[in-house]
Chains A and B, each alone.
Chain A
Amino acid sequence: MAVAEDGPIRDLGASEIAGADTFETSQKQSSYEEISPEAWEGRGISAAELLSSLTGVEAHSQGGVGSFQTISIRGIAGQDILICVNGVPLNDGSGGAVDLGRIDLNQVEKIEVYKDRVPVKFGGSGVGGAVNFITKSAKVSNQESSGKFLAAYGSHNYWETAIQINSAITDSVGFTAGVSARHSDNDYEFKSENGTPYNKDDDFTANRENADFTEYSGSAELRILHGNGAFSTLAFNGAYAEGGNPGRGEFQTKVAGYEGENATLSYRLESPELLGWLWLTAGLSGRFEKNVSHSYYPLDHIGYFSTEYLEYGAAGYHLLPEITAEYLGERLVATLRIAGGFDRMEARGTSREWALERYSGNAAGEVNFHITRWLATSGEASLQLLQDDIDGGKFVLPTATQKLKTASNRDASYSYRGAILLTQPAGYFGGHISLGRFYRQPQLMELYGVYPGVVSNPDLKEETSLRFEGGLFASTPKKISTLRVTYYETAVDNGIYWVTSGAFMKALNVGEVRIRGLELNLESHPAKFLQVLMGATIQKALDHTDDVAYRDKNLPGEPVQSYYTEAKLQLPFHFDFTWASSYRTKIYEDRGNRLEQPAVPNHRAALGFTPYTQTRFVFAVENITDETYRNAYSPFPMPGREYRLTFTQGF
């Protein structure tokens, strides 16, 4: 909700050493949540694992540091969730979910999670909510230079190092930059049934091979206060990663791997107050990413049936111009955003050349009006137009019945949402309801698949979702404890699934989904030295398709119940201790609910020591009970218990 998230997001100060010595309750609604660095620094958890500590969010991982990781939010899978860095979408045209395993949290200052919608500032497109990673920002008013150094070492030869520098170049120019590197051999031990669940005699234990991961990333931001009161911000972030592709547990690879690189450069100009009521922001962002895999079939037995060393992948270029106008009145807050977009994807590696382009235009607006001190309403809407270009039809894999010459024209897409908020002025209790319609246009690869075995489907329709949410919150006197309860219901129509038939894959609008759920959150700090978080999600996320094999089955990866609890203790002698436990009921990996993963608990703990204000050590243990669950037909073994020691020094 805009009311809950108001305030500029770009004027955050530079990162401080995490580990506050007092606690405060924070957010009143579970549909929008913020996560700050103290939740992850030194604890050795990935972005997906971190997000899954929120109610309604499930993490999905292929195992190991840097492995492919996604989340689902309130039953909606990763490909329908908009993932942004500083408001620039990472979702490329591949039709899949964004890989959260490649996000280095060392570069991140704050994470915004929108479970109920895609906000206007991101264009309103996406049926399953949005996550925005905000990188560390320069601060103009800070007269002192500062910085932070981090080094960590852990199981499986995990190492990580990062340095962040913040500097006030002049009174009106601030600068921050950070670089980091992380690596893991990911050679964890796993048990395998050898793919023969009916034969226990050939089960074995082995170490994961060819699973190493190394990443280098960096970010920089220059923020300038102009003489007329306007701000300019020039920001860059980029990363390079490489690693092995270990393949299935039973059949480990030797050569297969990947390289990925991305870079985003953006400029933003924020006006001073105009006409006494108007703020304007204009921005232009450019993003490049390239991901190339390689394999050698005779040794790896993955990829394509060839005796040659093969490389295959894609590069993407994205341009996002936008302008935003904001009105901040006493009772009325309004935002209008106009944005364009250009996306181009083209072949990399040894595969045949192809190129796909998309031009888009988006208009979105939002109005929040405080009717009384207790009552507020909000409304938002967006409209998007798209035009695709398939590079003159030079190469698009045909269906059996048509060969594409031009891209299909796409209808305009729209979203809308209305909400009513009731909040006691002192903030002790309140509630809200909202109803919205959202959409996701098919990605380029879903429409015009260009890889072997992927068949194009230019007639794909947009996915749509209708989402209802109602919530209540109440706080005890002095706000020591806050209870939040949220009911949500989502209907997704024309869900896009990759359907396999023999050797072919084709994206089809076959998904009909009905999800109902309840989130319960209790946040309490009964003593100055203690904070407790408890969360529970109980949901029915069911496939509602007409296909009898799937109808009324649980959606893949979605448990009926999941629980999370965390306790943070401030201890004597500058120690602090965090314990977190989670539990989810069984899940299925497939739409037919045949591939079951059992219910699993996860416990993690972190002991922190801050001998000096700027110096901190954290020893963390992940997966304390060493859970290594997996299904015999599941190709990705999970790591067991892991340890990590992190040292942080501020300056």
Chain B
Amino acid sequence: MKKQKFKINMVQNLLLLVALITWACGDNSSSAESPETSSSSEMDCDGAGCVTSACTDRTVFIFGTDYKAGELRWIEEKAEHAAMISEDKLDFYQDSKIINAGGNFFVLERAGADNLTLLNPCKKEVLWQTALEDYSNPTDVVMADESSAWMALEGAQNFVKVSVADGKILKTVKTDVFTSKGGTSPNLADFAVRGDTLFAIFQRYVYDAATYTSTYPKGLLAWYDLKTGKLLDTLTLATKNPAMMATTSENLYVATQGEYDEMWSLPADENRGIEKVNLAKKTSSLFVTGAKLGGGATDIAVDEKNAVAYVAVSAGFSKAVVSVNLKDGSVKELKDISGADGGFYFDAKSGLLYTGDRTFSDVLFYDGKDVLVVEKGDVAPLPPYGITVSGK
């Protein structure tokens, strides 16, 4: 496995580049289009519902931040370079997440801004932006149906359904019963969807101002009817501080960080890892422990085709990315990727894993064999923080 700059090095990476460019050009185009020449992408409220479905370009977007300012850039094809980070950018709040939900490109400006924005990923234009409840801290968006989406709010005692057409709140689902005593919210961290079920994980921590630490009960998994938001059932997880979920056609996996120790680290032990949830038996157990991963699991993505899960691992300031064999739970560290603190996204369509390296402000991608770095050219982007791919 090698790590190298992503200038065209035809001999070694020809196949990979061809794959990337072909994928980047979208399903039916011959080349990646610039923002000015992209295909029509206005809101389409007919046919497939109120989504930006007319915009079919599949573009890699990168949100960058130095925790002071935030900016959204994207990867463009240039004449001399196969792919480069764009010179153009859109400004957003310094702590934002970018999420592609069913072809709709959302920007979630988190606590302190608390906005939801829908973007036209072809024109790189904001379609609408709406303010949320103060300090509600949006963390995730999934589609409820063709015209509405569920939005997770970590800082509120509820989550909401919003209209994709204009961002208006259509429904509020209370979650206050999940708030721990002394907590300010149940800390809804992530959504996942399988079939007609909406899964939500709650961290439920309580901040102790005297010791400057948070105490965590075991994480909570709750599932709801995807259309109505009706609570169907709950399950206490095996470990604490769940961060993200990933689904396959058969299983639900939960990445848990566990509690921080007195060194503010996430030790490599049995108190965190990847849990596999058995919904039929309503049980959850560690599938891969933090001891095998090397720390707490902060993110997870599944490559179902190859029966592999990619996991972002953190042990405090030490970070790593590993692949987990979903058949036997064996772990392999991707040594050329020094963590994913700057973004973590697996694109099932292209089979590429994207990660961001904040130390060197690099965006890397991994095809299961090689790790390559996207050229920055003369652009001086802010360190990456989130990555996603637009389009369906």
Chain A: residues with CB nearer than 8 A to chain B?
194-199, 202, 248, 250-251, 297-298, 301, 304-308, 310, 312, 350-352, 397-401, 403, 451-453, 455, 500-502, 504, 548-551, 589-592, 594-595, 633
Contacts and interface: CB of A to CB of B under 8 A. Distances in A.
Interface of B: 66-71, 91, 93-94, 109, 112-115, 117, 126, 128-131, 134-135, 182-184, 207-212, 214, 262-265, 315-318, 341, 358, 361, 376, 380-383
Contacts of B212: 351-352, 397, 451-453
A551 to B, nearest CB: 7
Nearest to A635: B112
A197 B207 CA distance: 32
Given A198-B126, A305-B184, 18 more contacts: A196-B115, A198-B128, A301-B135, A305-B183, A307-B182, A310-B209, A351-B209, A399-B263, A403-B263, A501-B67, A501-B358, A549-B66, A549-B380, A549-B381, A592-B382, A594-B69, A595-B68, A633-B113
The 9 closest A-B pairs by CB, nearest first: A400-B316, A594-B69, A500-B67, A452-B212, A198-B126, A301-B135, A590-B68, A198-B129, A305-B207
Contact of A351 (B117, B210, B382): B210
Given A307-B183, A403-B263, A633-B94, A199 B210 contact: no
B134 A251 contact: yes
B209 A312 contact: yes
A198 B209 CA distance: 37
Contacts of B184: 297-298, 305-307
A179 B223 CA distance: 65
A574 B212 CA distance: 62
Contacts of B68: 500, 589-592, 594-595
Contacts of A399: 263, 317
A197 B69 CA distance: 14
A400 B265 contact: yes
A397 to B, nearest CB: 7
Contacts of B265: 400
B264 A549 contact: no
B317 A401 contact: yes
B69 A195 contact: no
A500 B66 CA distance: 8
A251 B135 contact: yes
A248 B112 contact: yes
- With a 10 A CB-CB cut-off, give which of B71, B117, B126, B263 has the most chain A CB atoms: B263
Contacts of A202: 130-131
- With a 10 A CB-CB cut-off, give which of A194, A307, A351, A592 has the most chain B CB atoms: A592
7 contacts: A306-B182, A398-B263, A398-B264, A452-B212, A504-B264, A549-B66, A549-B380
A308 B67 CA distance: 27
B112 A548 contact: no
A595 B69 contact: yes
Nearest to A202: B131
Given A195-B113, A297-B184, A298-B184, A350 B69 contact: no
Contact of B134 (A301, A351, A592): A301
A455 B315 CA distance: 16
Given A195-B93, A549-B361, A400 B130 contact: no
Contacts of B130: 196, 199, 202
Contacts of A312: 209
B382 A398 contact: no
B210 A352 contact: yes
A174 B128 CA distance: 70
Given A298-B184, A400-B265, A551-B380, A306 B129 contact: no
A398 to B, nearest CB: 5
B226 to A, nearest CB: 28
A308 B209 contact: yes
Given A310-B209, A594-B69, A633 B135 contact: no
Nearest to B91: A594
Given A196-B130, A401-B317, A452-B212, A594 B207 contact: no
Contacts of A595: 68-69
Contact of A594 (B114, B183, B211, B382): B382
A591 B182 contact: no
Nearest to B66: A592
A352 B209 CA distance: 8
A199 B130 CA distance: 7
A77 to B, nearest CB: 14
A455 B263 CA distance: 10
Contacts of B128: 198-199
Contacts of A592: 66, 68-69, 382
A351 B134 CA distance: 26
A214 B82 CA distance: 61
B357 to A, nearest CB: 13
A550 B91 CA distance: 17
Contacts of B66: 500, 549, 590-592
A306 B208 CA distance: 7
Contacts of A400: 263-265, 315-318
Given A350-B210, A403-B263, A633 B183 contact: no
Contacts of B113: 195, 633
A595 B113 CA distance: 15
Contacts of A455: 264
Contacts of B109: 195
Contacts of B135: 251, 301
B151 to A, nearest CB: 16
Contacts of A594: 68-71, 91, 382
Contact of A304 (B207, B316, B317): B207
Contact of A633 (B67, B93, B214): B93
Nearest to B214: A305
A197 B130 CA distance: 10
Contacts of B263: 398-401, 403
A251 B68 CA distance: 18
A196 B383 contact: no
